[in-house]
Amino acid sequence: MIRILIADDHAIVIGGLKQLLAQVDDVEVAGEANNGQQVLDALVRDRFDLVLLDMNMPGPSGIDLIARIRSLDADLPILVLTMHNEVQVARGAFKAGAAGYLTKDTEPEVLVAAIRKTASGGKFIDPTLVDQLVFDAGDGQLEAAHDKLSAREFHVLALLASGKTVNEIAADLGLSSKTVSTHKARLMLKMNFSSNADLVRYAVESGLAK
């Protein structure tokens, strides 16, 4: 049985997903969360085999929340279910540690297939995005500029883009301000940013900022 935590801030979405998954023999909705903090609290309290995660919720969300889940449980599969169908957003989610990415207009049977595949350790990309990803790969552009960053540098980039200061990021990640400043300096160098404005502009244009 695949125990799932559904994370979405719309009750009607959670209700629809529960109704759908109740008809699937090997899937159990074992928890619900309406914001990012509830997701993190649920993961501390209980065991799940997969998180079905919306990218936009109150509190920690998106790439930041994916990275925080990864820090709590490095092996827990995260399947993103979102309204965003931009390839850049999907890349960011995978970079942060998601195992799968689907849009909310996905057919029910595709969602179930994605749940089974990611829960068993596989990867899954929304079929509507596959062609674009393949096209980009053939054009030599599959790797976005931020793909050169380490996972920690990418997380710091996302947090800086959300408006957090170095000290706030240090507190969030349990690191020293000096360590965060080092990560920031390295990512600024790798990305050829000369200012915070460059960083924010890139994050917005790439779909990384909230």
Q: How far is residue 159's CA from residue 66's CA, in Å, rounded to a whole number?
A: 12
- With 50 as the cut, is the pLDDT of residue 110 above it? yes
- Token pair belonging to 202: 């890139």
Determine contact, residues 183/157, Cβ cutoff 8 Å.
no
As a whole number of angstroms, the distance between CA 163 and CA 135 comes to: 33
Q: Residue 100 — pLDDT band, cuts 50, 70, 90?
A: very high
Residues of the chain with pLDDT > 70: what percent? 90
Tell me which of 135 and 116 has the higher pLDDT: 116
Q: Model-level pTM?
A: 0.67
**The pLDDT of residue 186 is above 70:** yes
Residue 9, pLDDT score: 93
- Name the amino acid, one letter, at 171: A
